[in-house]
Chain A
Amino acid sequence: MMRRVAAGGIWLLVAALGGGACRRPAQPGDPLPGLSAAERQRFDRGRAIFDSVFTPATGLGPLFNADACAECHEDPVSGGTGDEVERHATAFHPEAAGRPCDELVALGGPVFQKRVTPALQAALAIDSEPVPPQATAIAARTTPDIFGFGLLDAVPDSEILAYADPDDRDSDGISGRPNRFFDGRLGRFGRKALVPALREFNDGAFAAEQGITTPAVPQEETVGGRPIPAGVDPAPDPELSAAATDLLDSFVRLLAAPSPARLSGQARQGRAAFATAGCDRCHVPALHTGDSPIPALHHREVDAYTDLLLHDMGPELADICLGQATPSEFRTEPLMGVRRMARFLHDGRATTLEQAIELHAGEAARSRDRFRALPAEQRAALVAFLKTL
Chain B
Amino acid sequence: MTRSLLVSLFIIAAPVAAATAQQPGPAHKVEGAVRTVNVRGRALEVTTGVGMALRVVRLQVPAPLSLTGLRPGDLVRVTYGARPGGYVAYTIERVERTP
Closest 4 CB pairs of A and B: A204-B51, A98-B73, A98-B72, A207-B53
The CA-CA distance from A201 to B52 in the complex, in Å, is 7
Residues of B within 8 A of A205 (CB): 51-53
The CA-CA distance from A370 to B11 in the complex, in Å, is 64
The CA-CA distance from A368 to B56 in the complex, in Å, is 40
B50 touches A106 (CB 8 A): no
Q: Mark A271-299, 1 if CB is under 8 A from B, else 0.
A: 00000000000000000000000000000
- Name the interface residues of A95-133: CB closer than 8 Å to any CB of B: 96-99, 103, 105-106, 109-111
Q: Mark B33-48, 1 if CB is under 8 A from A, else 0.
A: 1110000000001111
The CA-CA distance from A106 to B58 in the complex, in Å, is 10
The CA-CA distance from A285 to B71 in the complex, in Å, is 40
Quick check: is A170 within 8 A (CB to CB) of the other chain? no
A98 touches B34 (CB 8 A): yes
Residues of A within 8 A of B13 (CB): none
Residues of B within 8 A of A105 (CB): 35, 47, 49, 54-56
Quick check: is B75 within 8 A (CB to CB) of the other chain? yes
With contacts A97-B72, A98-B98, A183-B75 taken as known, whether A208 is within 8 angstroms of B33 at the C-beta atoms is: no
B71 touches which of A98, A109, A201 (Cβ 8 Å): A98
The CA-CA distance from A97 to B73 in the complex, in Å, is 8
Give B51's nearest chain A residue, CB to CB.
A204
Quick check: is B96 within 8 A (CB to CB) of the other chain? yes
Give A198's nearest chain B residue, CB to CB.
B51
B74 touches A98 (CB 8 A): yes
B32 touches A183 (CB 8 A): yes
Say how far B72's CB is from chain A's closest CB, in angstroms: 3
B47 touches A201 (CB 8 A): no
- Name the interface residues of A151-198: CB closer than 8 Å to any CB of B: 182-184, 189-190, 194-195
Taking Cβ atoms with an 8 Å cutoff, the residues of B that contact A are 31-35, 45-56, 71-75, 95-96, 98
The CA-CA distance from A317 to B25 in the complex, in Å, is 49
B53 touches A99 (CB 8 A): no
A190 touches which of B52, B56, B73, B75 (Cβ 8 Å): B52
Say how far A60's CB is from chain B's closest CB, in angstroms: 15
Residues of B within 8 A of A219 (CB): 55
The CA-CA distance from A87 to B72 in the complex, in Å, is 26
A-B contact pairs, 22 of them (CB 8 A): A97-B71, A97-B72, A97-B73, A98-B98, A103-B47, A105-B35, A105-B56, A109-B54, A182-B54, A183-B32, A183-B33, A183-B48, A184-B31, A184-B75, A184-B95, A184-B96, A195-B52, A202-B51, A203-B50, A204-B52, A205-B53, A207-B53
Quick check: is A67 within 8 A (CB to CB) of the other chain? no
Say how far A140's CB is from chain B's closest CB, in angstroms: 15
Residues of B within 8 A of A216 (CB): 50
A99 touches which of B31, B33, B96 (Cβ 8 Å): B33
The CA-CA distance from A216 to B33 in the complex, in Å, is 19
Say how far A112's CB is from chain B's closest CB, in angstroms: 11
Quick check: is A233 within 8 A (CB to CB) of the other chain? no
A99 touches B72 (CB 8 A): yes
Residues of A within 8 A of B73 (CB): 97-99
Quick check: is A71 within 8 A (CB to CB) of the other chain? no
Quick check: is A200 within 8 A (CB to CB) of the other chain? yes
Residues of A within 8 A of B75 (CB): 182-184
